[in-house]
């Protein structure tokens, strides 16, 4: 092998070749990444869990302050929840899978149920699971103390 041939084979790749490869990788990743995305981001899930937990804490506070039972009603089909005596309906991300575990007497239909808070600060207890694929957050309500916690 001559010196000229050895120098040519050892010089590496040109800038143009490198740019072509990077361009191809960018195009492929731009096409592939949206195929695996499209779900709910972790930030949106956590935000929804915090919003639901805040609504439940509000309901507990209202129950204690007004000395009346207060409900948080969840509509699993429409992805909304409502706190009693609050005219607003709070929306949760539509792509979330929502599951409600509560007392049998508080299940109004297959897609609607509620968690009650009592004047002494307690609750009937329950858990709302917000999931998207393998990721999930659970908003847990302790039946004895009415304490609301977010579990992940």
Domain containing 19 equals: 3-36
* Domain tally, the chain: 2
**Look-up of token digits 């990743």:** 29
pTM, two decimals, is 0.74
Amino acid 138: pLDDT: 95
Q: Give the pLDDT band (50/70/90) at residue 7.
A: low
- What phi and psi, each to the nearest 5 degrees, are found at residue 46? -65, -40
Query: CATH number for the domain including 131?
Result: 3.55.40.10
pLDDT at 97 exceeding the cut of 60:
yes
How many Cα atoms occupy the beta-carbon half-sphere of 143 within 13 Å?
A: 7
Interval 60-70 mean pLDDT: 95
Residues 29 and 61 in one domain: no
pLDDT band at 101 (very low <50, low <70, confident <90, very high): very high
**Secondary structure (3-state) at 9:** helix
Residue with tokens 């007392």: 103
Residue 128 sits in the same domain as residue 145: yes
Q: Per-residue pLDDT for 140 more than 80?
A: yes
């Amino acid at each position: 092998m001559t010196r000229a041939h050895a120098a040519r084979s050892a010089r590496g790749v040109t800038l143009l070749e490198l740019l072509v490869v990077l361009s191809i990788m960018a195009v492929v990743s731009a096409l592939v990444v949206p195929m695996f995305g499209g779900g709910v981001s972790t930030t949106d899930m956590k935000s929804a869990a915090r919003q639901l937990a805040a609504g439940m804490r509000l309901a507990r506070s209202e129950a204690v302050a007004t000395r009346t039972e207060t409900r948080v009603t969840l509509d699993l089909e429409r992805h909304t929840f409502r706190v009693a005596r609050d005219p607003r309906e709070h929306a949760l991300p539509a792509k979330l899978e929502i599951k409600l575990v509560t007392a049998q007497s508080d299940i109004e239909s297959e897609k609607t149920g509620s968690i009650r808070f009592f004047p002494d600060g307690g609750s009937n207890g329950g858990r709302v699971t917000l999931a998207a694929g393998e990721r999930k957050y659970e908003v847990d309500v302790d039946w004895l103390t009415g304490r609301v916690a977010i579990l992940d």
